[in-house]
């Protein structure tokens, strides 16, 4: 028997039938009664219910118990509830331990009732064994830095930043592109209201850029993140723009000067057109500044930054065309520029990750042919929008080069006839890469709606167009969405339940589409001028890297994983880091905005008090036992351990605001001088021994 | 001993398996397996630790010495550790421990390290079944037998 | 009178225009006779609506032109409207066609106008007041179950009835003046049968189509597979003593097809089929020859049983 | 300065007393005299087969300790870590390879401040336990009193008698009959202690009383230079021939170790799991839990060892202790074991502890490529944080 | 009239669209809407109508759901050749349950009307109309004996016994599409 006065209360939950249906509660209760130091054993239908908690509180108040073991469901969801109950009744809440006899026992062994009962006994015995060794702990507080970093300047990032900035928090918005705006800036209209994307987005871009509490750091990426909630130390690398942004006015003179040889596919137009090596991301860019793409630049003056210009025979320097064109000298190549850009260090209390998504390239889908007239939906978006490569004129994509030539002539005041072909038939194909085990098993969620939107916009503008849409099934959940679908049907757009399995090029660049109509149960064929693939929304390529830097999780599908699908949808496993928008999973604009605002408010409510309660389940060094070998120092993932002088000797010491309680140090310490509170060596070993001995608790 | 008798005895014998699971992945996977009603042998009992990096070789030694027939450490997949890289550290300790027990004549198959993420409920159940089969084939923990015999 | 509410109808003596349709007067005149017997006895005045025509039935004008359909229907409705009374039909098709036409006219002024343009040529105008009521609803709602119970001389104690309300008794519920509380679990006909002392239990295929009408004329084989399913359900689930319908089409289909299926060896049972008005007339003691004299599936035994053991 | 030199003491007396020209003695004396170090740590021969660890600040004492003693197995590293505050004093220590490796390991663990430990390493092809040596003399019909010193020359055990005679015997034959070098020495895989500042020995010396010195560190070079400048030491650069011979001898010794490793480890590996259990548990049943193996271990350093009875793992008063005693100890030392053989030497019940520790360490070497005690800047695998799998 | 069991093995939508555009004045869907199925386009092919359709149950090819789909695609020729709409019992259960208020029944009947207009029906289908015109009754049997047997006058008080009323009815019919189409001889 232990010397201390330990009175353990064991509370067994039936969880309705969930536990009682497989575990013989009476037998388990009888067993528990005979465990050492157990003073009270009770069972109840729902231990977590109010009356259930009251049973525990009553026993504590009456002094019957001073350690609580609840045998119920998983501590991952219910430990906090019961801890609070203990606290309410006046017991240190760390005198609580849980045995998981539902999720890990009754449910898993539903058809082996006897064995489930046996296992439940052992699990309870292990919990009791641990409970005997529990120690009272006090919550601690950490000071919080009230700045927030928002990673990603798309619609989600913008809203998160604005909400926080308006609430008085300083926000650093880090965007990897030269301009904020994200994918939404590429869209023509937005469902379900069909309002112009630019019209609703650009004012917000300006607002966030001009907000006194927001600091934009565009063309920049997160390099490293250290520290933890309340005290993140972030290094952001601002990429080299090769243009002096202080001087650049965004006039665009340089863009036209950039020679044709230096043209590369324009990312903003999804590769439908070309841009120069020096470019402004798009006309409405914020900040509207030019950057030079060093990979695309052909150094046409034979000069790079910091190099002496070559000179003409009469000694005049030969300048690069962009340099020459720039009215403010922002493009000057006189000074050398560090290709690595600039490293900016930020101290923030919280981080919101809203890095968005990318759409799958059509290249991987060989079955839909390599024709330029098979395009992704995002390309279609660029094709129909007035800011797109064709100024919204609908022509087949294979004729865009013709269009651009024609436009050049017209701009130069020449007369010319545009010979581009206008499509008569457009086919939409859904679930390209989504709901497909070869690519992504998830549904990309917005494709049905944006396909309907594009079809609707097209049909309204060009009623003579024949539009065919192939869906595995149409998913238009929620308010206003099915009504939108209805509108589309009423426009006479032909909708098929069934997937397109093949698109074959015809000699005249038109496309033979092979689909299936589940309604008639027949294969169908048609000739289409354009085929639009609703390619899947997928995580950005570098999302995993970013997640690793941030120490947050990525799901099997590659998106950032939220702490809990239902209850903590914008939280991550790392406290203080929140997620919003498509980085978390495919979603539409309203959902992204809602999530962004949720993330902002989560960050705000976390930081507003200025300090935060932290569970004391962290490690502590016993300096008497510590031999100062320092293994722990290097192993600590949070740099929380340092060597300090103690009685003239070097000993390790843990910084409790940095420690997250992983226990790596405790495990590594050869003399076990480090204790991880809540999971001490003695506690874990007591559990292990008890289970190893099949429920027999060994006296120590 | 007559062969048949031994076999009969073996049939009655059920392995005793301890899983030391990290709170963020494998423990969650076990919960998920339960909530999806994937069944696995009830011989498996889980001890929760915050991170696989918390697992000390002594935990495994204690489990084996005190009679567990198999010990499985469950952690997050490489790169997914909630504590950045505790799982890598766990792996090293585990490899060392495994070679030690092997040298002393305890079948290394009695200890196993698995990366099971929180969403892999099915994998959890499958790994448990497989591990249970492995242990069943190996038979009772010889340490336990030795101790009992020596009494 | 043309009524909007029950309470209104109670104020005065009940009066309806007896809309016969085609099947009843030419094919099953015993149903007509039954109505002519029971209603006066129940103190309901009936008007012959002299000059009435086909409703028009589904295969005729409804299949050609909506306005034409409505015009023919409107002329029939006018016959009642002119006298300030509603029509009353014992044929579901008539009930459906007339009410659906009325519904179209009331909801589409364009149709109404076109119809009245046509009607004007014969000096008529339909204002949309008169409608067609179903005999079953008149009996249930206007006459009332109590009065029916009082009026019968023979009770059906111990008999099990399979009811067949028929499609146009139920849907589209939107167009009908009277509505079952739950058209998918209709009660009116069951209540009416119970008022006669019989048991009228639910069975699975109670609301299913009998397969009459266009289906039977287009493809009798397929039509009979449908009715066979229904008959078998009646036999197996409730082993009914008789089938009671409120539709002349259903009456003919269930009665005719049964005999035919039996001859072809596809079924081995025989369940007499009656229109509800016929059953009521029998219970009220009218001459079976007159009110239930025409059938293919024999009724003698059941009539005998009613008259011998049902006397109150 | 060239890495390889042949050096000797200038002082005649020292040259005479020292084994190979008295270089080591001269250097140590010089360092004390010049106050480069506070203490010199060396081994002093006693009468017959006795010896002691000798710590002195007096330069004159050094000369008394001249000459190598092959039956001396001092636990130099442990001695330094345990009794000397290397943050306070500067020490020059004479070490065999295993001592030096242990010092390096302990330095990584912050138990020795290696900045203050100047290591003069001695090449080593093995040592003898005094008891074994006694039995060997008995077998070989040699009186202990007549023995001046013993040595190993390639595959021969050499006995120098006081009367000036030299007798040699085949080492392998002796060892096969259970005599010869300590078991760990037979398996030893580091013959030249290059982790020291100076690695000294007679290998590669063709003629005359000279010491072949490999200068392994900058400070080693400085000391030698100073000693030469001060006229304490004289030297010549080693010729290619010298170096070649030394390499050959080292390789020969390593080959011999390889053979012994194959022999011992092969034996262990060839056992089935059951045989291993029976073997080791049989051994462990003898254990009287005297803790000598732990106490003597050169790479153990905890203040409060978890094998202490109050640390929960091992029950007090239980003999033999639970196997977890041995398994835990093995886990704790496996990555750092330098195969010094101390544990096995001290075990009163003769459990071949060093054999299993060394074998386990070989596994660590295989998995992580980590050889303990070689490079100061290379952390032990379990102390490294990088994400390598 | 033969019931056409089946649809072409592959439906060539381009050909269907071309035929619809080039060979007909109006789209089938437009016609069907004109003929009374106003909510045709709202159909989302959920199939509820087919689940309770007697025609689908007994194996007709172009039951309500499929008929609507074919119309939406623009198939016309295939549909005109088929008799399914004429088998519709007009039970209207589909109308009751259609979530989009398409009234598949109305589509069926609009299809009948289209077929009538295209004269793509057999003479049998117009027998009813002829009878209606001639007697005022679609179903007209002499049946006098039966009426007498049950004690009723030989002729019911309908157009059958009322020449003036019959003439009224004929006047009405002459002013409908029935006359325009010339389906039946009218004096």
Distance from CA of A232 to the nearest CA of D (A): 21
Q: Do chains E and C touch (3 or more CB pairs under 8 A)?
A: yes
| Whole-number Å distance between alpha carbons of A444 and A471 | 13
Contact between D332 and A670 using a beta-carbon 8 Å cutoff: yes
**Alpha helix locations (H) across chain D?**
12-17, 23-33, 59-64, 76-83, 97-108, 130-139, 171-176, 183-187, 218-229, 240-270, 273-284, 292-296, 324-333, 342-346, 353-368
Closest to C68 (Cβ–Cβ): which among E57, E140, E176?
E176
- The answer to whether position C52 is within a domain reads yes
Whether E50 contacts chain A with CB within 8 A: no
> How many CB atoms lie under 10 A from the CB of residue A170?
18
Q: What percent of chain E has pLDDT over 70?
A: 96
For all residues of chain D together, what is the average pLDDT? 92
Which of A48 and C13 is assigned the larger pLDDT? A48
- Shared-domain flag, residues C173 and C250: yes
Claim to verify: residue C105 and residue C178 sit in the same structural domain = no
Q: Which residues of C touch E128 (CB under 8 A)?
A: 57, 59-60
- Per 3-state DSSP, what percentage of chain E is helix, strand, and coil (rounded to 5)? 55, 0, 45
Q: For A559, left (φ over 0), alpha (ψ -120 to 50), or beta?
A: beta
Burial class (CB in 10 A: 0-12, 13-18, 19+), A122: buried
- Is residue E61 within 8 angstroms of chain A, CB to CB? no
CA distance A282 to D377: 52
For the segment C275-284, the average pLDDT, to the nearest whole number, is: 96
Chains E and A touch (3+ CB pairs under 8 A): yes
DSSP A319: P
In chain E, residues with a C-beta closer than 8 Å to the C-beta of A517 are 11, 69, 73
Query: For residue C233, is pLDDT > 60?
Result: yes
The answer to whether the Cβ–Cβ distance between D328 and B57 falls below 8 Å is yes
What does the pLDDT look like over D74-95, one tens digit per residue? 999 999 999 999 999 999 999 9
Could you report the per-residue pLDDT of E67-90, keeping only the tens digit for each?
999 999 999 888 888 889 999 999
Domains and CATH numbers, chain A: 8-139 (3.40.50), 148-239+347-356+540-611 (3.50.50.60), 359-538 (3.50.50.60), 618-676 (3.30.70.20)
Asked if residues B47 and B72 have their Cβ atoms less than 8 Å apart, the reply is: no
* Strand D211-215 relative to strand A350-353, pairing: unpaired
What confidence tens digit (pLDDT) does each residue in A367-407 have? 999 999 999 999 999 999 999 999 999 999 999 999 999 99
Q: Among partner residues D285, D306, D323, which is closest to B143 by beta-carbon distance?
A: D323
* B140 close to A (CB below 8 A): no
Mark whether C64 and C173 lie in a shared domain. Answer: no
Q: How confident is the model at residue E141 (pLDDT cuts 50, 70, 90)?
A: confident
Contacts of E138 in chain C (CB under 8 A): 22, 54, 56-57, 59-60
Comparing C282 with A658, the larger pLDDT belongs to C282
Domain end: C101, C134, C167, which one?
A: C134
Domain termination residue (choose one: C95, C112, C134): C134
Residues 6+ apart with CB under 8 A from A132: A2, A6, A8, A36, A37, A67, A686, A697
A window 488-507, beta carbon within 8 A of E:
489-492, 494-495, 497
- Cβ contacts below 8 Å, chain A against chain D, sum to 51
> Chain A partners of E27 at a C-beta cutoff of 8 Å?
492
Contact assignment for C26 to E173 by CB distance below 8 Å: no
- List pLDDT tens digits, range D274-294: 999 999 989 999 999 999 999
The pLDDT value given to residue A613:
85
Residue B57 in contact with residue D359, Cβ under 8 Å? no
Residue among A494, A501, A503 with most chain E CBs within 10 A, to mutate: A494
C49 & C123 share domain: yes
CA-CA distance, E114 to E28, in Å (whole number)?
Answer: 9
Q: Quick one: closest CA in E to A466, which residue?
A: E17
Look up residue A265 and give its DSSP letter: E
Whether residues C209 and C291 fall in one domain: yes
Do residues C122 and C153 share a domain? no
Residues E139, C22: C-beta atoms closer than 8 Å: yes
CA D1 to chain centre: 27
Give the pLDDT mean for A332-357. 95
**Domain count across chain C:** 2
Nearest to A69 by CA among A146, A13, A147: A13
A692, pLDDT greater than 90: yes
Q: In Å, how far is D301's CA from the nearest CA of chain A?
A: 7
Distance from A134 to chain D by nearest Cα, in Å? 16
> For the CA atoms of chain C, what is the radius of gyration?
19
Chain A environment of D305 (Cβ under 8 Å): 671
C171, C27, C36, C188: which is closest to C99 by C-alpha? C171
- Whether C100 is in a domain gets the answer yes
Which residues of chain B does D323 touch, with a Cβ-Cβ cutoff of 8 Å? 65, 104, 143, 146
C-beta atoms of D305 and A671 within 8 A? yes
In this structure, the answer to whether residues C112 and C228 fall within a common structural domain is no
Segment A472-503, tens digit of pLDDT: 999 999 899 999 999 999 999 999 999 999 99
Which 342-361 residues of chain D touch chain B by CB within 8 A?
356, 359-360
Judged by DSSP in three states, E160 sits in: coil
Contact present, B125 and A108 (Cβ < 8 Å): yes
Q: Which residues from C are below 8 Å from E166, CB to CB?
A: 53
Question: Domain boundary at C109, C134, C159, which?
Answer: C134
Which residues 6+ apart lie within 8 Å of A308 measured at CB?
none
- Biggest alpha carbon–alpha carbon distance for chain B: 54
CATH number of the domain bearing residue C44: 1.20.1050.140
User: Of the candidates A653, A545, A584, A656, which has an alpha carbon nearest to the alpha carbon of residue A230?
Assistant: A656
Q: Is residue C269 located within the same domain as residue C304?
A: yes
Of chain B residues 54-83, which have a CB less than 8 A from chain A?
54-56, 58-59, 62-68, 76, 79-80, 82-83
Q: How many CB atoms lie within 10 A of CB D4?
A: 18
Least Cα separation, residue A194 to chain E (angstroms): 20
- Residue A434: name the closest of A357, A510, A374 by CA: A357
**Omega into A192 within 30° of 0, i.e. cis?**
yes
Q: Is residue C139 part of a domain?
A: no
What are phi and psi for residue B69, nearest 5 degrees?
A: -90, -20
pLDDT of residue D1: 67
pLDDT digits (tens, 9 = 90+) for A52-103: 999 999 999 999 999 999 999 999 989 999 999 999 999 999 999 999 999 9
Nearest-CA distance B29 → chain A (Å)? 10
Mutation site for B-interface testing, chosen from D311, D331, D334, D385 by largest number of B Cβ within 10 Å:
D331
Structure tokens, D21: 């020209």
What pLDDT does E107 receive?
A: 96
Cα distance between residue A65 and residue A55, in whole Å = 11
In contact, E96 and C171? CB cutoff 8 Å: yes
Task: Note whether residue C140 is domain-resident.
Answer: no
Domains and CATH numbers, chain E: 24-120 (1.10.1060), 121-187 (no CATH)
pLDDT digits (tens, 9 = 90+) for A598-616: 999 999 999 999 998 888 9
pLDDT, position B150:
46
Please state, for a pLDDT cut of 70, what percent of chain D lies above it: 99
D302 in reach of chain B (CB within 8 A): no
Residue A440 has pLDDT above 90, yes or no: yes
How far is A398 from A371, CA to CA, in rounded Å?
8
Contact A220, A176 (CB under 8 A): yes
Taking residues C149-158, report their average pLDDT.
Answer: 94
C201 and C113 fall within a common domain: no
pLDDT greater than 90 at residue D25 = yes
Stretch D334-362: mean pLDDT: 96
State which residue of chain E sits closest to A528, comparing Cα positions: E14
What was the pLDDT predicted at E2?
40
Q: Report the CATH number at residue C176.
A: 3.40.50.11810
**For strand A38-44 and strand A8-13, is the pairing parallel, antiparallel, or unpaired?**
parallel
Which residues constitute the domain of residue C31?
A: 6-134
**E interface test, pick of A524, A528, A529 with most E CB neighbours within 10 Å:** A524
Q: Are residues C20 and C149 in the same domain?
A: no
Condensed to tens digits (0 to 9), the pLDDT of residues A293-309 reads: 999 999 888 889 988 88
Same domain, C226 and C102: no
The shortest C-alpha distance from B1 to chain A (Å) reads 27
Phi, psi of E86 (to 5 degrees): -75, -10
Count each helix (H run) and each strand (E run) in chain E, helices first: 13, 1
* Runs of H (alpha helix) within C60-166: 66-83, 92-107, 109-120, 135-137, 145-151
**Residue D385 is nearest to which of A626, A634, A643, comparing CB atoms?**
A634
Q: D120-156, pLDDT tens digit by residue?
A: 999 999 999 999 999 999 999 999 889 988 999 989 9
Residues C243 and C124 in one domain: no
Looking only at Cα atoms, what is the longest distance across chain E? Answer: 65
Q: How far apart are alpha carbons A448 and A440 in whole angstroms?
A: 16
How many Cβ atoms sit within 10 Å of the Cβ of residue A82? 25
> Does C1 fall in a domain?
no
In 3D space, the residue among C190, D163, C29 whose CA is nearest the CA of residue C182 turns out to be C190
Name the neighbours of C, counting chains with at least 3 Cβ pairs within 8 A. E
Q: What is the mean pLDDT of residues A349-356?
A: 97
Residue C165 in domain: yes
Question: CB A614: neighbour CB atoms within 10 A?
Answer: 20
Q: What's the whole-model pTM score?
A: 0.72
Write the DSSP string, A27-49: HHHHHHHTSTTEEEEEEES-TTS
């Amino acid at each position: 028997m232990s010397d201390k006065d330990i009175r353990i209360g064991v509370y067994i939950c039936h969880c309705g039938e969930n536990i009682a249906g497989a575990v013989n509660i009476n037998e388990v209760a009888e067993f528990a009664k005979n465990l050492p130091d157990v003073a009270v054993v009770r069972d109840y239908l729902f231990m977590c219910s109010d009356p259930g908690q009251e049973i525990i509180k009553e026993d504590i108040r009456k002094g019957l118990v001073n350690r609580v073991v609840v045998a119920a469901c998983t501590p991952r969801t219910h430990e906090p509830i019961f801890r609070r109950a203990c606290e309410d009744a006046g017991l240190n809440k760390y005198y609580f331990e849980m045995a998981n006899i539902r999720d890990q026992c009754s449910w898993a062994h539903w058809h082996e009732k006897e064995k489930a009962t046996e296992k439940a006994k052992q699990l309870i015995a292990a919990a009791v064994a641990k409970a005997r060794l529990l120690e009272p702990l006090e919550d601690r507080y950490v000071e919080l830095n009230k700045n927030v970093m928002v990673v990603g300047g798309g619609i989600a990032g913008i809203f998160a930043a604005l909400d926080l900035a308006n609430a008085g928090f300083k926000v650093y918005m880090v965007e990897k592109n030269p301009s904020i705006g994200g994918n939404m800036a590429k869209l023509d209209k937005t469902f379900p209201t069909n309002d112009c994307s630019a019209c609703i987005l650009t004012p917000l871009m300006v607002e966030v850029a001009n907000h006194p509490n927001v600091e934009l750091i565009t063309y920049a990426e997160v390099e490293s993140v250290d520290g933890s909630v309340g005290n993140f130390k972030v290094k952001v690398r601002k990429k080299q723009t090769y243009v002096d942004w202080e001087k650049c006015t965004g006039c665009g003179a340089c863009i036209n000067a950039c020679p044709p040889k230096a043209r590369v596919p324009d990312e903003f137009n999804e590769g439908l057109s070309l841009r120069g090596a020096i470019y402004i991301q798009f006309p409405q860019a914020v900040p509207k500044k030019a950057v030079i793409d060093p990979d695309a630049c052909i150094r046409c003056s034979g000069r790079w930054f910091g190099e002496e210009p070559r000179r003409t025979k009469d000694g005049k320097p030969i300048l690069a065309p962009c340099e020459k064109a720039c009215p403010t000298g922002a493009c000057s190549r006189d000074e050398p520029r560090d290709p690595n850009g600039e490293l900016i260090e930020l101290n923030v209390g919280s981080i919101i990750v809203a890095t968005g998504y990318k759409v799958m390239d059509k290249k991987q889908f060989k079955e839909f042919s390599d024709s330029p007239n098979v395009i992704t939906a995002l390309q279609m978006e660029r094709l129909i929008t007035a800011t797109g490569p064709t100024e919204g004129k609908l022509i087949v994509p294979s004729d865009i080069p013709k269009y651009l030539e024609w436009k050049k002539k017209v701009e130069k005041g020449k007369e010319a006839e545009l010979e581009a072909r206008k499509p008569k038939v457009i086919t939409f194909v859904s679930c390209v890469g989504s709901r497909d085990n070869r690519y992504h098993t998830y549904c990309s969620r917005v494709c049905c709606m944006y396909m309907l939107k594009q079809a609707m916009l097209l049909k309204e503008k060009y009623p003579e167009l024949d539009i065919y849409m192939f869906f595995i099934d149409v998913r238009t959940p929620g308010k206003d969405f099915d009504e939108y679908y209805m509108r589309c049907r009423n426009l006479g757009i032909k909708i098929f339940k069934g997937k397109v399995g093949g698109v074959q090029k015809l000699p005249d660049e038109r496309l033979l589409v092979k689909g299936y109509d589940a309604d008639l149960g027949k294969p169908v064929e048609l000739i289409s001028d354009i085929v639009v693939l609703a390619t899947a929304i997928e995580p950005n390529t570098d999302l995993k890297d970013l997640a690793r830097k941030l120490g947050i999780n990525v799901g099997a599908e590659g998106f950032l994983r939220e702490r809990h699908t239902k209850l903590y949808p914008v939280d991550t496993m790392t406290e203080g880091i929140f997620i919003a928008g498509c980085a978390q999973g495919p979603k539409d604009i309203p959902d992204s905005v809602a999530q962004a605002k949720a993330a902002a408010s989560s960050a705000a409510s976390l930081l507003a008090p200025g300090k935060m309660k932290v569970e004391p389940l962290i490690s502590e060094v016993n300096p008497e036992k510590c031999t100062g070998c320092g293994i722990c120092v290097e192993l600590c993932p949070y740099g929380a351990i340092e060597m300090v002088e103690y009685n003239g000797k070097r000993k390790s010491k843990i910084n409790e605001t940095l420690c997250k309680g992983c226990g790596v140090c405790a495990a590594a310490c050869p003399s076990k001088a480090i204790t991880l509170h809540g999971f001490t060596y003695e506690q874990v070993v007591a559990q292990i021994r008890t289970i190893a001995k099949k429920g027999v608790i060994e006296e120590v | 001993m007559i062969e048949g008798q031994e076999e009969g005895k073996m049939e009655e014998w059920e392995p005793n398996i301890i899983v030391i699971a990290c709170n963020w992945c494998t423990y969650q996977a076990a919960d998920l397996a339960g909530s999806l009603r994937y069944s696995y042998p009830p011989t498996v009992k889980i001890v929760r630790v915050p991170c696989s990096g918390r697992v000390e070789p002594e935990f495994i030694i204690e489990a084996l010495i005190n009679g567990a027939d198999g010990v499985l450490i469950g952690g997050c997949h490489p790169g997914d550790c909630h504590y950045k890289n505790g799982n890598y550290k766990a792996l090293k300790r585990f490899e060392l421990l495994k070679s030690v027990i092997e040298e002393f004549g305890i079948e290394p198959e009695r200890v196993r390290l698995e990366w099971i993420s929180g969403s892999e409920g099915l994998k959890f159940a499958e790994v448990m079944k497989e591990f249970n089969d492995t242990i069943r084939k190996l038979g009772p923990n010889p340490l336990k037998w030795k101790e009992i015999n020596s009494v | 009178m043309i009524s909007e509410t029950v309470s209104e109808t109670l104020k005065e003596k009940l009066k309806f225009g007896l809309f016969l349709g085609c099947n009843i007067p030419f094919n099953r005149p015993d149903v007509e006779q039954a109505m002519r017997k029971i209603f006066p006895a129940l103190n309901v005045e009936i008007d012959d609506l002299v000059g009435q025509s086909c409703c028009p039935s589904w295969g005729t004008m409804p299949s050609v032109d909506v306005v034409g359909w409505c015009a023919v229907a409107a002329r029939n409705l006018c016959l009642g409207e002119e006298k300030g009374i509603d029509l009353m039909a014992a044929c579901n098709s008539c009930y459906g066609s007339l009410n659906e036409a009325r519904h179209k006219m009331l909801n589409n002024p364009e149709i109404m106008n076109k119809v009245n343009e046509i009607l004007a040529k014969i000096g008529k105008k339909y204002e949309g007041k008169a409608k067609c009521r179903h005999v079953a609803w008149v009996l249930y709602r206007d006459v009332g179950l109590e009065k029916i119970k009082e009026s019968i001389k023979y009770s059906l104690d111990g008999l099990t009835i399979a009811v067949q309300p028929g499609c146009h008794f139920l849907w589209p519920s939107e167009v009908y003046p009277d509505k079952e509380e739950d058209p998918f679990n209709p009660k009116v006909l069951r209540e009416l049968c119970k008022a006669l002392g019989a048991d009228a239990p639910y069975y699975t295929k109670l609301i299913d189509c009998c397969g009459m009408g266009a289906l039977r004329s287009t493809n009798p084989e397929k039509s009979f597979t449908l009715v066979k399913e229904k008959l078998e359900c009646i036999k197996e689930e409730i082993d009914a003593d008789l089938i009671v319908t409120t539709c002349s089409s259903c009456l003919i289909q269930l009665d005719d097809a049964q005999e035919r299926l039996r001859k072809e060896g596809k079924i081995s049972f025989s369940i007499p089929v009656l229109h509800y008005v016929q059953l009521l007339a029998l219970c009220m003691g009218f001459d079976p020859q007159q009110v239930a004299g025409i059938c293919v599936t024999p009724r003698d035994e059941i009539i005998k049983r009613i008259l011998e053991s049902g006397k109150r | 300065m060239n890495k390889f030199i042949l050096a000797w003491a200038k002082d005649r007396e020292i040259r005479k007393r020292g084994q190979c020209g008295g270089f080591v003695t001269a250097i140590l004396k010089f360092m004390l005299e010049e106050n480069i170090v506070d203490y010199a740590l060396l081994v002093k021969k006693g009468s017959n087969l006795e010896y002691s660890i000798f710590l002195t600040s007096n330069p004159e004492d050094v000369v008394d300790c001249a000459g190598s003693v092959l039956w001396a197995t001092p636990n130099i590293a442990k001695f330094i870590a345990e009794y000397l505050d290397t943050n306070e004093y500067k020490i020059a220590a004479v070490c065999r390879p295993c001592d030096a490796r242990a010092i390096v390991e302990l330095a990584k663990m912050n138990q020795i401040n290696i900045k203050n430990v100047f290591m003069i390493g001695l090449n080593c092809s093995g040592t003898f336990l005094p008891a074994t040596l006694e039995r060997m003399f008995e077998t070989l019909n040699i009186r202990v009193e007549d023995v001046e010193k013993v040595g190993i020359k390639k595959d021969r055990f050499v006995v120098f008698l006081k009367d000036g005679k030299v007798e040699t015997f085949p080492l392998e034959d002796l060892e096969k009959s259970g005599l010869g070098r300590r078991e760990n020495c037979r398996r030893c895989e580091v013959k030249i202690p290059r982790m020291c500042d100076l690695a000294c020995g007679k290998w590669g010396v063709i003629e005359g009383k000279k010491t072949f010195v490999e200068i392994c560190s900058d400070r080693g070079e400085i000391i030698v230079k100073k000693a030469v400048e001060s006229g304490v030491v004289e030297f010549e650069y080693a010729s290619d021939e010298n170096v070649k011979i030394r390499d050959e001898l080292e390789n020969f010794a390593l080959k011999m170790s390889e053979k012994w490793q194959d022999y011992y480890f092969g034996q262990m590996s060839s056992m089935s799991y059951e045989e291993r259990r029976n073997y080791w548990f049989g051994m462990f049943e003898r254990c009287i839990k005297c803790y000598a193996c732990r106490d003597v271990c050169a790479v153990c350093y905890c203040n409060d060892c978890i094998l202490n009875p109050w640390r929960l793992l091992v029950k007090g008063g239980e003999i033999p202790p639970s196997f977890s005693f041995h398994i835990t100890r093995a886990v704790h030392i496996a990555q750092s074991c330098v195969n010094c053989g101390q544990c096995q030497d001290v075990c009163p019940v003769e459990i071949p502890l060093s054999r299993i520790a060394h074998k386990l360490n070989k596994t660590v070497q295989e998995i992580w490529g980590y050889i303990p005690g070689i490079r100061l800047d290379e952390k032990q695998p379990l102390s490294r944080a990088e994400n390598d799998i | 009239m033969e019931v056409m069991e089946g649809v072409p093995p592959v439906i060539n939508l381009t050909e269907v669209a071309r035929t619809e555009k080039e060979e007909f004045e109006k789209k089938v869907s437009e016609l069907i809407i004109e003929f009374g199925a106003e909510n045709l386009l709202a159909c989302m092919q959920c199939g509820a109508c087919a689940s309770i359709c007697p025609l689908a149950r007994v194996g007709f090819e172009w039951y309500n759901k499929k008929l609507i789909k074919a119309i939406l695609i623009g198939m016309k020729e295939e549909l005109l050749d088929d008799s399914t709409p004429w088998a519709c019992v007009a039970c209207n259960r589909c109308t009751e349950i259609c979530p989009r208020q398409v009234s598949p029944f109305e589509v069926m009947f609009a299809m009948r009307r289209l077929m009538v207009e295209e004269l793509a029906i057999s003479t049998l289908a117009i027998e009813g109309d002829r009878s209606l015109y001639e007697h005022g009754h679609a179903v007209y049997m002499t049946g006098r004996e039966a009426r007498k047997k049950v004690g009723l006058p030989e002729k019911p008080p309908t157009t059958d016994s009322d020449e003036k009323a019959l003439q009224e009815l004929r006047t009405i019919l002459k002013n409908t599409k029935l006359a325009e189409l010339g389906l039946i001889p009218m004096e």
